[in-house]
Amino acid sequence: MKPIIFSGMQATGVPSIGNYIGAIKNWVSLQKDYRCLFCVVDLHSITVKQDPTELREKSRDLFTLYVALGLDPLEHILYYQSHVPAHAELAWILNCFTYMGELNRMTQFKDKSRKHEENINAGLFTYPVLMAADILLFNTNLVPVGDDQKQHLELCRDVAARFNNRYGDIFTIPEPYIPPMGSRIMSLQEPEKKMSKSETENINNVIYLLDEPSVIMKKFKRAMTDSLSEIKYNPAEQPGVSNLLTIYACATGQSIDKCVAEFADAPGYGHLKTRVGEAVVAMLEPSQKRYKELKADPAYIDKLVKDNANRAKDMAQETLTAVKEAVGFPK
């Protein structure tokens, strides 16, 4: 059987081109060689305060986007985390095999605690344990990870090994999957920081996957560049221009060097911004069209949600049953 890959995304905000280029585009290509589970991680989302109506809508929108962007809900499994109770059940068991000192070292908890000082809850603290449960439930072999999740995957591996050392080979120890194309897309107005789908201060920083073409073009025309008036790839000295070149390369499938050569005789940054905007509009056009078709057929999405949840439940239950038996829960 093909190796298993698990990944997911929080149902907060609208995914950006950073999410697509850095993650979902790679997920689409993984479907050829792996058995894939792609989750809307809505349990993780509530570690930060959410409006219930918005969370429900955003979760469905993200699920629909998964399909529109090319993830196959028939060959693979796309589902809501909250529809598979085994996630929370296994997380509780793994909490009992995870040390406080390990969780205290998680840098993401420290970062989020600073951002949400009024809501430093236990779920935020044990977030990595739920993430470990997500992965271990499905005997996952590989997990696509970015820099911000490497520490969590290491904890997952440690907890799985600790459990296996005590009870036998129950869990598959997952390995990190480093995608061949993992370009880091930066903010348009502040190119020193990563583009975030949860941006609240300035929406011109972000190109959302559902932005209208006219909006996309306006945002690129406002993108931060510099006063050097030359188009080179030099993230240290020209972060804005370098970010635009990265986006153009990802949208057109060309190398950075080829993109730089293409703009060697460009009349100015305005030309670069326009071409990048046009390339992104063209990249997003098919998925935006498909998304609108799927939104117009809610019964089809309802069926996909139900069928995929049942498949995920069946798969997760095998591992959960083995774990319960191992720790001594009565049958």
Secondary structure element (H or E) that encloses residue 74, with its range: none
What does the alpha-carbon distance between residue 263 and residue 270 come to, in Å, rounded to a whole number? Answer: 11
What does the alpha-carbon distance between residue 135 and residue 148 come to, in Å, rounded to a whole number? Answer: 16
pTM over 0.85: yes
**pLDDT at 279 (0 to 100):** 97
180 has a pLDDT exceeding 70: no
**pLDDT at 166 (0 to 100):** 97
Question: For residue 31, what pLDDT band results from cuts at 50, 70 and 90?
Answer: very high
Three-class secondary structure of residue 4 per DSSP: strand
Active site residues: 112, 194, 197
Q: CATH homologous superfamily for 203-292?
A: Tyrosyl-Transfer RNA Synthetase (1.10.240.10)
44 has a pLDDT exceeding 60: yes
Percent of the chain at pLDDT above 90? Answer: 79
**pLDDT at 210 (0 to 100):** 95
Closest CA to 319 of 94, 43, 38: 94
**pLDDT at 145 (0 to 100):** 81
**Neighbouring residues of 36: CB distance < 8 A, sequence distance ≥ 6:** 4, 5, 6, 7, 27, 30, 71, 76, 77
**H-type helices in 177-268, by residue range?**
213-221, 239-252, 256-262
**pLDDT at 284 (0 to 100):** 97
- Higher-confidence residue of 112 and 215: namely 215
In this structure, are residues 194 and 186 in contact, taking their beta carbons and an 8 Å threshold? yes
Question: For residue 116, what pLDDT band results from cuts at 50, 70 and 90?
Answer: low
Mean pLDDT of 72-76: 98
**pLDDT at 182 (0 to 100):** 58
- Higher-confidence residue of 161 and 1: namely 161
247 has a pLDDT exceeding 70: yes
What does the alpha-carbon distance between residue 252 and residue 328 come to, in Å, rounded to a whole number? Answer: 55
24 has a pLDDT exceeding 60: yes
In this structure, are residues 81 and 8 in contact, taking their beta carbons and an 8 Å threshold? yes
**pLDDT at 113 (0 to 100):** 66
Q: Where are the domains of the chain?
A: 4-179+298-327, 203-292
Percent of the chain at pLDDT above 70? Answer: 95
| Interior/surface letters 113-130, b for 16+ CB within 10 angstroms, e for the rest | eeeeeeeeeeebbbbbbb
Mean pLDDT of 280-289: 97
- Higher-confidence residue of 9 and 106: namely 9
The CATH number corresponding to 4-179+298-327 among 3.40.50.720, 3.40.50.620, 3.90.320.10, 3.30.565.10 equals 3.40.50.620
- How far, in Å, are 89, 101, 121, 269, 330 from residue 130 at the CA level? 9, 17, 14, 45, 24
Backbone angles phi, psi at 153, to 5 degrees: -65, -35
Strand order in the sheet with 77-80: 77-80, 35-40, 4-9, 142-144, 175-177
